[in-house]
Amino acid sequence: METSIINRRDLFIGGGAATVAYMAGSFMPLIAQNTANLGAPSVVQVGFRKQKLGDMEIIALNDGVGRRSLAAEFVRNAPLDQVQAALREQNLPTEYIDIPFTAFLVVSGSRRILFDTGFADNGGPTNGRLMANLNAAGYKAEDIDTVVISHYHGDHINGIRNKAGQLVFPKAKIMVPTVEHAFWMDDARMAAAPEAMKGAFANVRRVLKDIPADQLMQFEPGKDIAPGIKSMAAFGHTPGHSLFVVESKGEKFAYIADLTNIPALFARNPDWQVQFDMDPNAARDVRRKTFDMIVADKMMVGGYHFPFPAFGRLERLGNGFDFKPVA
């Protein structure tokens, strides 16, 4: 039986079910396996959405969607029938979960700052739409001056470099959280990792190799990364998982990356642990704390795995929160 008490040592060094489960975070093989018998998810047709924030503009850029069968381990600490009941109550399918991928572009004066990158051409047939959506929104790859990474899971970093090995945003500086970088770039940790987890370490190296030091810049979570944009430590999903608060003229937008997976399950039930959270208890604590802050400060919120347009507001509902997408 899956246990909800996850030992930190198991996660970071040894084996254990948690590590193996976490590896599903790379998504790619799972998409291929699961879509065969579950049908293909539909990709949004107009995959960009612009939203004003004071003097800035935030643009949601959808990269596509992945479908996976709903297995008992998807939510580690809730019985499958409860998870299915939660989905049914919201008129969602109960045999599978569609997980969208949406990055965010901040347009601020002359700056074009992209948060997370999608898959580029490294994913499955229903991924890799970010560039088309960026173009449709009126921007080219060369216009992006900065790419900011929340954490090193493949669905967030693969779009930095295409399959042919080229950098997708040739003029962009790439900003990464120090703690996240130190964890994944530790060769000893990679060598000690269970076989199933080595692929994630190797993928980080594929994406980041040979990027010159003046183009790959590390930031300390908690520090400002650009005028009006502050990073925040939100460790738990991964060791250095970070989120970002953008502020202009008193209006605030929080890009919360993978603080929660699909909100229908994990905003409604913030104590539920998605199988990809590497330190589920830390992830839960920071999720609750951050949701409270977002509601108290009346921030607009955007999440990488939120249903498109992936922008909206959080409202309290029962013991959790309801995500209300913008109209």
Q: Which residues bind Zn ion (CB under 5 A)?
A: 153, 155, 258
CA dist list (Å): 95 to 23, 35, 39, 270, 274: 21, 12, 11, 22, 16
Q: Minimum distance from CB of 116 to Zn ion (Å)?
A: 8
CB nearer to Zn ion: pick between 248 and 287: 287
Q: Minimum distance from CB of 154 to Zn ion (Å)?
A: 8
> How many CB atoms sit inside 10 A of residue 54's CB?
15
Which of 179, 176, 196 lies closest to 116, judged by CA? 176
CB nearer to Zn ion: pick between 27 and 139: 27
Angle (CA) 46-50-55 rounded to 5° is 170
Which sign does the torsion angle of CA 40, 199, 157, 76 carry?
Answer: positive
Q: Minimum distance from CB of 221 to Zn ion (Å)?
A: 17
Q: For the purposes of burial, counting CB atoms within 10 Å of the CB of 146, is it exposed (0-12), middle (13-18) or buried (19 or more)?
A: buried
CB nearer to Zn ion: pick between 25 and 309: 25
Q: CB nearest Zn ion: which residue?
A: 258
Q: Minimum distance from CB of 258 to Zn ion (Å)?
A: 4
Q: Minimum distance from CB of 296 to Zn ion (Å)?
A: 26
CB nearer to Zn ion: pick between 258 and 279: 258
Q: Minimum distance from CB of 156 to Zn ion (Å)?
A: 6
CB nearer to Zn ion: pick between 247 and 258: 258
CB nearer to Zn ion: pick between 25 and 228: 25
Q: For the purposes of burial, counting CB atoms within 10 Å of the CB of 46, is it exposed (0-12), middle (13-18) or buried (19 or more)?
A: exposed
Long-range CB contacts (within 8 A, 24+) of 10-17: 11/278, 11/279, 12/183, 12/189, 12/239, 12/278, 13/189, 13/192, 13/193, 14/192, 14/194, 15/194, 17/73
